[in-house]
Amino acid sequence: MRGTHSQNRRDVSPTTLAVAALVVCAAVITIAVIWMGGSDDPVAEPPAAAEAGPRPWQVTLDLDAKAGYLVTAGVTDGRRQNLTVQDLAFSGRRDGVYGGEVTAFPPGTLDEGQFRAGEPVNDAFYLPAFVFPEHTAGDAKPWRTPAVGRPDPSGVWVVAYADPARATGGAAVDREDLLRLAAAVRIGPPRDLRMPLRLGSRLPAGLQLTYVRSPDQQIDRRPSALGLSAPARRPSGAGVYAQVPAGLDVTVLIAPRDGAWDKRRATLTGATKSAGLPAWYDEGKRQTVQAERCVVTIDTALPRAELDLLVEQMTIGDCTDPDSWIPPLS
């Protein structure tokens, strides 16, 4: 009731309350220390978070910066990784000459028996005729090429080889070149392959990003490429990524707006708009979109509505400025 109080209650000063609180806290801390010290069981550390593997647009494959190589294209194809490299050493050319291919095969995805029967060289094996199931995707013919393979402590097999069709002008890649290239390979932390385009958060139902090709536009002038498929799609067994692998449900090619585009545009039919951009639609096959500094070509049989939604969510940058490129998914 308002205004009533106890006649025999003594007033307690703030100082007295503070001292009492300190005494109680000290007692609690002392009890806690005695309880912890009285146990012979070690105090368990919190479990460490498990490290996530590379994302679909990341590679762990790299080259020693001092070895004289320049990466001109990086590929992720499912769990397989591939680098195309230019050899800057002893070439006398600013951009060097074609230096070969490097592929990292995850455990269980390579016929290791071929290399085990090869010539041991330090921690590697040289084969004069390593067999790939095919040269490029879709040709269905076994391809034989000299190669150097070595197992990496991470569990992957690193294979260095060359495409004779690329080694022109007396720049053949020989046994010693392959051994030097294989020795320069490093497996490190994941790093992004960057693109002039980023996909949105909503991909077509049941599809994931499973293929990425990121070129160096100063030397390798082929389009950047993305591929969507079911997660279980197997990576290509081809030796060279001259074209996109089989089994992709959606292929996205991103190229600069240049003279070649001007000629191609004149042949397109089905003019329309997609996300407010000029577009050309070939039903059941392809949609081509012209952005400010890129041309985006989407090959797929998906319905038009799915394509427009895919384009609407895209971030399209500058195909001629690799320094501005970003990862293809956030």
**CA trace torsion 245, 247, 250, 256 (10° rounding):** 10
Indicate the pairing of strand 238-240 with strand 134-136: parallel
Mean pLDDT of 231-259: 95
**pTM of the predicted protein model:** 0.82
Q: Closest Cα partner for 239 from 134, 128, 100, 169?
A: 134
The pLDDT tens digits of the residues spanning 143-180 come to: 999 999 999 888 899 999 999 888 765 568 999 999 99
Q: Which residue has the higher pLDDT, 69 or 108?
A: 69
DSSP alpha helix (H) spans, the chain? 14-37, 112-116, 175-184, 259-265, 304-313
Residues 6+ apart with CB under 8 A from 252: 197, 199, 225, 226, 227, 228, 296, 297, 298
Average pLDDT, the chain: 84
Residue 77 pLDDT: 96
Distance CA 56, CA 210 (A): 6
Structure tokens at 97: 């000459």
Q: Specify the CATH number for 197-324; select among 2.40.50, 3.40.50, 3.40.1000, 3.30.70.
A: 3.40.1000
